Amino acid sequence: MKWIIFLAMLAGTLHAALIRDNVLEVVYDEKTNLIWQDNISVKTDRFIWEDAIDYCEALDFANSQEWRVPNINELFSIVHMEHAFPSINTDIFKNIVPRYYYWSSTTFAGNTNFVWNIYFGYGHESTCTRNHRYYVRCVRDKEPEAVLPLQPSELPFLYYYLLN
Amino acid sequence: MFKSIIVISITFLFSCAESYVLKTGQTVEYKTGDNGTYHALTGVERSYSRDNINGIVSDHSTNLQWQDYYEEGKIYRTDWTAANTYCTKLHLKGVGWRLPTRYELTTIVDYSQSHPAINTTFFQVTASGTYWSSTSYMKPESANAWRTNFNDGGDYVSKKENVNFVRCVRGAK
């Protein structure tokens, strides 16, 4: 029986780090507890920085109005370091412009006319003035859940264990 | 029934790993809805302490220890291969040092500061320049590796034969 417990744990820890909801067009990152916008707008709509902030603040998408522009650390958390052009996990994130910049909400402390962004070609952090027209991928926190957060992938192990 | 409660409890524990995104440091709001607006609500707060005798900074939010002392006060600067060797041979209150990964190196960037973009209360020996990470560009055999610029906090790749500063790390990986 012990190995079944082990497999259930393994499925929970290894398998479910990044999950895409193909109906809502969002990606849930279990490591960071963040939910990412992943619809067509992420690769079609470009904004100057102020408008990117207003866009995410006003966004009503995937049953939520809690969207915001990610800060530079949040945006960096979805950079996939073994990939380039784009430097993101394209098995999960379906919408990305591979050779362009995405805004963060973090201002450059050395010159507050500049804002941090990530170029998803190489996946590096850089700064530029607010009047550039870049893409944005809004983010929100996942609300705490009342039910047990079992992933679908874990259920077969659990059922097997309980039935034996 | 008891067994099933154990399974569910274990699954629950593993599903509720704490968020690992750190706060950027920005507390000022430049526009409503920016990083400053959400500063208090998002990310893990850093928790530093400094061993002033040995020159070691401990980051309790990442469980990493950082070198903040150099022989004769000269911040070591070398190519990527020598940087890796320097860290593995470093004796600073014991051994176990290594070159930080790209992700680890970015965790000590303080985006509320620049020149250097680091918390200078704790990190007292920082060069205005670029520091090596151990992370090669895409593949280990790459001729390039990532380095972080502590003037602004940004990062980019550099040829491994180039010369950058070195700050070693030890602890959790």
In order of their start, the domains of chain B are 1-45 (no CATH), 47-171 (3.10.100.10)
Q: What is the CATH number of the domain that holds A137?
A: 3.10.100.10
Instruction: Give tens-digit pLDDT for B105-154.
Output: 999 999 999 999 999 999 999 998 999 999 999 999 999 999 999 999 99
Q: List beta partners, residue B87.
A: none
A81 contact B CB<8A = yes
Q: How far apart are CA A132 and CA A134, in angstroms?
A: 6
Instruction: Give tens-digit pLDDT for A19-70.
Output: 999 999 999 999 999 999 999 999 999 999 999 999 999 999 999 999 999 9
pLDDT score at A32: 94
pLDDT score at A143: 83
Say which of B7, B35, B115 has its CB closest to residue A71. Answer: B35
Report the gap between the CA of B98 and the closest CA in chain A (Å).
Answer: 19
Give residue A86's domain range.
2-143
Find the helix packing angle between A2-10 and A155-163, rounded to 10°.
170
Residue A103 within a domain: yes
Q: Do the Cβ atoms of B113 and A30 come within 8 Å?
A: no
Choose between B80 and A6: higher pLDDT. B80
Residue A154 within a domain: no
Q: How far apart are CA B108 and CA B41, in angstroms?
A: 20
Residue A163 within a domain: no
B168: exposed, middle or buried (Cβ count in 10 Å: 0-12, 13-18, 19+):
buried
Kindly tell me if the per-residue pLDDT of B14 is higher than 50: no
Q: How far apart are CA A143 and CA B140, in angstroms?
A: 38
Please name the residues in contact with B100: beta carbons below 8 A apart, sequence gap of 6 or more: B64, B133, B134, B167, B168, B169
Report phi then psi at B67, rounded to 5.
-65, 130
Instruction: Give tens-digit pLDDT for A104-125.
Output: 999 999 999 999 999 999 999 9
CA distance from start to end of chain B: 37
Residue A72 within a domain: yes
Contacts with A158 from chain B: Cβ below 8 Å: 4, 7-8, 11
Q: Is residue A3 within 8 Å of residue A10, measured between CB atoms?
A: no
DSSP β-ladder status, B155-159 and A101-107: unpaired
Residue A160 within a domain: no
B1 contact A CB<8A = no
Kindly tell me if the per-residue pLDDT of B16 is higher than 60: no
pLDDT bracket for residue B80 (50, 70, 90): very high
Of A97, A150, A100, A75, the closest CA to residue B7 belongs to A150
Report how many domains make up chain A: 1
Encode burial over B92-103: b for 16+ CB neighbours within 10 A, e otherwise.
Answer: beeeebbbbbbb
Q: Mean pLDDT of all residues in chain A?
A: 87
A109 contact B CB<8A = yes
